[in-house]
Structures are given as structure tokens and as C-alpha cells.
Amino acid sequence: MSKEKHILVVDDEASITEMMQVVLEDRGYDITTAGNGKEGLERIQAQKPDLIITDISMPDMEGIEFLRELKRNGIEIPVIVMSGNIIGRKFLESARRFGAKGSVLKPFSKAELLQEVERCLQL
């Protein structure tokens, strides 16, 4: 995979974003992180990513609200949603109706993450 592919990771858990950044950079992706949906929208304005990975449960702006804002603003970037809590998991399927192209359940393996990223980048 080449460095040309830019991925935005949006999650309020620093340990998750750091782990994902290491895994994805090791695979050759360029990574930007954001701590919530509002920050994520700002990052998209600065540099449009090829793929977005967002948590469903976050403070300030939930993942579903983030997806709605992307759609409302005409931003068509593939999105992978992720969640590890019971409430968030129920929203993973709903997220597809709001434009999510993929999903992963926390905790996920490095292989699961990379497989879903590569699948969604090929869409």
C-alpha cells in the first residue's frame, strides 16, 4: 500500500487512535487523528482523506451525527464505523443507512482492521 492513501481516525480514546495509527502507518498509510466528530470535520476541511474510521460513541459529536454531517455537507468519503460498547454495537447497522461502508467491533485484531480498511478503499 502506498503513502498516497490518507486515513482519518476519529475516536475519543487515545489508546485506540495510537494503536490504529501504528498499525496503519506500518502498512504504509498516512494517518491523521481526531478526538471527536467536530474535530474530524475540521481535519477533513484541512486535508480530505481517502477513508475515515470513526467510533460510534464519542463526546461532543456521536459517530452517527458525524455521518449525518458528512452526508449533509456532500462529503463522499468511505467510512468505517467501530464500537465496543453494547449501545454502540446496536448502532453499527444503523450507521450503514447513514453511509458507512464498513464496521469493526472493538476489540479487533490488526488483521481485522487491515482487512476492512483494504476492502473499503477498493469500493
- Structural domain for 38, as ranges: 6-121
- Any idea what the Cα angle at residue 62 is, between residues 91 and 106, rounded to 5°? 55
Q: How many domains does the chain have?
A: 1
10 Å CB burial of residue 52 (0-12, 13-18, 19+) is buried
Helix (H, G, I), strand (E, B), or coil: what is residue 96? helix
The whole-model pTM stands at: 0.92
Distance of alpha carbon 101 from its chain centroid, rounded? 10
Ranges of residues in the chain with a pLDDT under 50 are 1-3
Say if 23 falls within a structural domain.
yes
| Domain assignment present for 70 | yes
The pLDDT tens digits of the residues spanning 42-61 come to 999 999 999 999 998 888 88
1 within domain boundaries: no
CATH of the domain at 115: 3.40.50.2300
> What is the reported pLDDT for 41?
95
Please give the mean pLDDT across all residues of the chain.
90
72 found inside a domain: yes
